Amino acid sequence: MIQCQQLDPHTVVLDMQGEVTARDYQSIIPSIEEAFHTEGKQNFLIKVGQVTNMTLGAMFQDAKFDFTHLNCVGKTAIVGDSEAQQVLVKAFNFVFPKPIKFFAENDITAATQWLATA
């Protein structure tokens, strides 16, 4: 499941829990595209909670969305609780041309501050 909300005019928050599917991504894309249309470039705060499974379809939808909307994406802060998530973020930095940074769950304030800096 993914919940999507606007933190401020230039930051979208995605809260992921449980199983994340392609259908989950498809349900949030219109909201994000609307934010791009009305507010322009968006930063992302992605909270990866207790994700039990991310389907292959979800991974495909994520990659497709990211590269289709590359000019609309600013920074991405990923907030999580595992070393595996931290390692994945480091790997994404090699293929994704926008700034991505990992923050521990208890550092959400630091994540939002990082997103707010130019």
Q: Give the least confident one: 31-40, 75-84, 99-108.
A: 75-84
| CA–CA gap between residue 104 and residue 84 (Å, rounded) | 12
- To which CATH superfamily is domain 2-116 assigned? STAS domain (3.30.750.24)
Task: Report whether 66 contacts 96 (CB < 8 A).
Answer: yes
The domains of the chain are located at: 2-116
User: For 43-73, what is each residue's pLDDT tens digit?
Assistant: 999 999 888 889 999 999 988 998 899 999 9
User: For 89-110, what is each residue's pLDDT tens digit?
Assistant: 888 777 778 899 999 999 999 9
> According to the model, what pLDDT value does residue 57 have?
93
Task: Report whether 39 contacts 71 (CB < 8 A).
Answer: no
The confidence band for 42, taking pLDDT boundaries of 50, 70 and 90, is very high
Can you give the pTM of this predicted structure? 0.91
